[in-house]
Structure 1
Amino acid sequence: MTKTSITTLNMKREFDVPAEKVFDAWTNVEMIKKWMFTMEHTNKVAKSEPRVGGTWEIVDHRDGKDYRAIGEYKVVEPPTKLVFTFQMPQFSDLEDDITVEIQPLESGCEMSFTQEITVIHEEGWAEEDIEKAHEEWKKETEQGWHYMFLGLKQLVETGKIIYPSF
């Protein structure tokens, strides 16, 4: 049996649009396929059933490979709260929990994002190895979301995403 532990990533972002627009970007297929784990021109599949027990799926095609992300909605409270699972089955059968809370502000809204990241332990790890892994997994996950949230902000505030060319 694989040993695991949980580390928590918390991020906040502000948007110059109403909470409903940000919530919609998390649940509407046409918006999801432009920013969440994918880009519109590399997206092969985007599905979303935003109801408790409903599922979501993204398949992104990069460098000749398909990357699949799936999950199930646990809480759907438009436009302020969304809780869902996140899994990439080609890498692991483990899943993370993600909570998105969106609070209206006087102008725009603030999104609070929390991911409970499941960290896989290697055999013989000491406590300091686990702590180091927590920081590394959190840093890598935060970097990925940082770039996705830049796209999310562009999408909800301007209606389009300018993808960087690498």
Structure 2
Amino acid sequence: MNNYSTTTLTMVRNFDVKSERVFDAWLNPEMMRKWFFTLEGTNKVAQNNPVVGGTWEIVDHRQGKDYRAIGEYLEIDPPKKIVFTFKMPELTPEGFSELADTITVELKELQQGCEMTFTQLIHVIHEENWTESDIEKAHDEWRDSTEQGWYYMFMGLKELLETGKISYKG
């Protein structure tokens, strides 16, 4: 049953810190709870076992509801690359996919700071009788909404790494 397709989102961000600091922010639960799919004030769970085959979990409480994101590490190459899965299993009925997206974070040292290339392979579930045009439209919508979410997370990550705190409280 192949009732889904994939689209790719790629984002590039520069940070005025060494790649080791950005790498650590993706794996350290105390850092993750401040920016990764959550904010410190709304975070309920930030668990992480950052080894290949290890899992991570974030639970964020927004508007009276818990949102849970989980995944598994597929590749960890300090401080250059992290590959992991990302899914929100409890939200499947509301349009979120039970399939796990794959996220790749690649870091490259620059003369000043580092560059992060973020790539997410997004699974898009098809509805019955979708045309190629419907699929293309869904790809654009999923990519745009996913990019918007990461945009705000990466703003918080940059602020956290470069100033030590995030001013946005949600």
- TM-score of the pair, normalised by structure 1: 0.97
Structure 2 match to 1:20: 20
| Residue 107 of structure 1 pairs with residue 112 of structure 2 | yes
Matched letter for residue 111 of structure 2: E
Query: Quick one: distance in 2 between partners of 1:131 and 1:7?
Result: 9
Matched letter for residue 42 of structure 1: T
Matched letter for residue 31 of structure 2: M
Matched letter for residue 11 of structure 1: M
Structure 1 match to 2:123: 118
Structure 2 match to 1:35: 35
Distance apart, 1:164 and its partner CA: 4.8
Structure 1 match to 2:47: 47
Matched letter for residue 153 of structure 1: K
Distance apart, 1:97 and its partner CA: 0.1
Structure 2 match to 1:137: 142
Structure 1 match to 2:65: 65
Distance apart, 1:63 and its partner CA: 1.1
Q: Deviations over 1:57-111 (max 9, x none)?
A: 0000111111000000000111110000000011232110000000000110000
Distance apart, 1:14 and its partner CA: 0.1
Distance apart, 1:42 and its partner CA: 0.4
* Percent identical: 65
Gaps of 5+ in 2: 93-97
Q: Deviations over 1:88-145 (max 9, x none)?
A: 0112321100000000001100000000000010100000100000001000000000
- TM-score of the pair, normalised by structure 2: 0.95
Gaps of 5+ in 1: none
Matched letter for residue 41 of structure 1: G
Q: Is the 8 A contact 2:41 2:169 kept in 1?
A: no
Aligned length: 165
Q: Please provide the CA RMSD for this pair.
A: 1.0
Query: Quick one: distance in 1 between partners of 2:67 and 2:110?
Result: 36
Q: Is the 8 A contact 1:28 1:48 kept in 2?
A: yes
Structure 1 match to 2:95: none
Q: Is the 8 A contact 1:2 1:120 kept in 2?
A: no
Instruction: Give the 4+ runs in structure 1 shifted more than 6 A.
Output: none
SS at match of 2:89: coil
Matched letter for residue 126 of structure 1: T
| Residue 146 of structure 1 pairs with residue 146 of structure 2 | no
Structure 2 match to 1:7: 7
Distance apart, 1:54 and its partner CA: 0.5
Q: Deviations over 1:27-56 (max 9, x none)?
A: 000000000110001000001111100000
Query: Quick one: distance in 2 between partners of 1:74 and 1:148?
Result: 22
